[in-house]
Structure 1
Amino acid sequence: MKWNMTESIKANLTYSVDTGVKPVNETMEQGNLERKYTGVFKEHAVTVHNGRPLRDKFVLDEHGFRFVDYPTRVRDFHDPDELKSVYYPEMEELIKDTSGASRVVVFDHTIRAGDKNEREKRQLREPVYRVHNDYTEWSGPQRVRDILPDEAGNLLKYRFAVIQTWRSIRNRIEADPLAICEASTLLAKDLILTERRYPDRVGETYQVSYNSNHRWYYFPMMARNEVLVFKVYDSQTNGGARFTAHTSFTDPTSPPNAKPRESIEIRTLAFFDP
């Protein structure tokens, strides 16, 4: 299988416009896969670099992401029992290996499909075509309180991170790949606090405003045995990567008969020894 090995492509990414009003991103009730968004969005043409030739140079704590070969024993990603018994432990070990965390807890996963019929058939979510980061200064620690309420008081005394993984679950990713922004090029002034409403709770994410200094990467034609690991929150404030903006985008080099994307993302809490 061949993939685009050019150094970079030009693509349109959808950024948010900071209007001074806090946007809202709402997930509907169970069984309704639609989202409601408020806010103003604008597309910007950016350079997206092919990360494959540089894959061994990326460091999680510096760039905010790693790209690795990591085969899985999962046969059916749509089987929730197999995910929890096989895939969750695999991702916990992968994140320990890539981050140096001593303990990793998977707390969530989302399967997305580019094909509308597949989404409706399996109750899946669509790719997200807006530049964002999933957790904020408030919602990162709050997720520890939500998931591990009895331990949170002690765990929050020490370093922890929210780290995610992203993988194709069927074919190579021929359409709607994930672009990821080098963390050092993402500034605090670029982050827009956004209310994240769920049927059972209210959280907070960052949408992102355009900055010409953002440096974007993607990994064309990702295969099922490849994983993108990226950090969306880190309590450590020593100058390393803390937030890593990302988005799905329309790849202008996708073949005209590209297969619809199917992917899974895993969200974890990663705890570090004092």
Structure 2
Amino acid sequence: MATITHDALEDQQRQAPALIRYLAPGDFVTRRYVRAGAEINTGEYRDYEAVVRDGMPIRDHFAFDTHGFMIGKGASAVEDFWNRDEVNEKYHAEAAQIIRNLTGADRVATQGWMIRTSADLSTRAQEKTENYQHAGGIQPPAGEAHVDYNTLTGQKAAARMHEQHFGSRDGYRRFCCVSLWRTFSPGPQDWPLAVCDGRSVADSEGVSNTLFVVDEFPVGDALTAPVEGEDQMIAAYIFRQNPAHRWWYFSNMSRDDVLLFKFHDSDHACTWRCPHTAFHDTSLPGVQIRASIELRAVAYWD
């Protein structure tokens, strides 16, 4: 973990009051179940009062390897992000080029994308879905502080994606698993994305949260019943409340603004991950229902 020094410029920025949801104290079986239109966690979570600083007035201040996130520009030729075929046709190549431009990576392999919206998805969530795939769909905003990959998941993703896209499971000096995030609804958004300065998060923080993609949610004891090999499955990191965490967001993001943040960087000499979560912004008038698209990718350096 890098050290945050006092930064007067950052301290002067507008603060939005927020509730950040964290894993509560205690021992839990921690899992995340996702199905069409809905996601649930096992364990107990609590909302903690926090402030989220608005980084938009100083947007050029943030550096990818210092804060774990950055905001940049990235125009898209996609006319309708609700059109799955158009997104699949156009967005992967666009996103890869944007990530290369922002990071200086030698190669980028894109993975799946997801639309997230604060609109009512209750009807969609009640639908029975056969063989649900957790990509290219529509889900609610993520509601707790998390990083999508734990260390093992990031390492496996980097090797797998390099083999799929470039023919070998190695051949890179450094990798970084990232998310490229943009809104395509009018601002200000009612549930924007908050990102945490990675320097304010200790390397020892984080509890693995195993991902289960299902057609229907289990109930009762089945939610936490033992699963063989769970420690090798895809998992995120979730976090417990820490007053040292330093949260930011970018108000009124436009369609051409892109927020790039880290899931896992193999180079731990720099800031190597970025917890993030949606939060309800009550600080601005006239907020709009959020609609955003996130795309996962892995950047590689020779």
Q: Classify the TM-score, shorter chain.
A: 0.7 to 0.9
Q: Normalising by structure 2, report the TM-score.
A: 0.80
Alignment partners' CA distance in 1, 2:27 and 2:238: 13
Alignment partners' CA distance in 2, 1:245 and 1:181: 5
Return the letter of the residue paired with 1:211.
N
Q: Quick one: percent identity of the two aligned structures?
A: 26
**Which residue of 2 is the match for residue 258 of structure 1?**
287
Deviation (angstroms), 1:152: 4.9
**Which residue of 2 is the match for residue 7 of structure 1?**
14
Alignment partners' CA distance in 1, 2:113 and 2:37: 15
**Which residue of 1 is the match for residue 271 of structure 2?**
241
1:184 touches 1:241 (CA, 8 Å); kept in 2? yes
Q: Normalising by structure 1, report the TM-score.
A: 0.88
Alignment partners' CA distance in 1, 2:288 and 2:66: 33
| Mapped pair 1:144 → 2:161 | no
Alignment partners' CA distance in 2, 1:142 and 1:22: 23
**Which residue of 1 is the match for residue 238 of structure 2?**
207
Alignment partners' CA distance in 1, 2:122 and 2:288: 12
1:51 touches 1:219 (CA, 8 Å); kept in 2? yes
User: CA 1:36 to 1:48, structure 2 compared with 1: closer, same or farther past 3 Å?
Assistant: closer
**Which residue of 1 is the match for residue 223 of structure 2?**
none
Matches within 5 A, 1:81-230: 81-116=85-120, 120=124, 124-149=138-163, 151-155=167-171, 158-199=173-214, 202-230=233-261
| Mapped pair 1:73 → 2:88 | no
Return the letter of the residue paired with 1:266.
L
Match of 2:63 among 59, 66, 80: 59
SS at match of 1:269: strand
CA shift digits 1:175-234 (9 cap, x unpaired): 000110001101123211111112499411000111111111011111111111111111
Deviation (angstroms), 1:44: 1.1
1:64 touches 1:182 (CA, 8 Å); kept in 2? yes
Return the letter of the residue paired with 2:301.
F
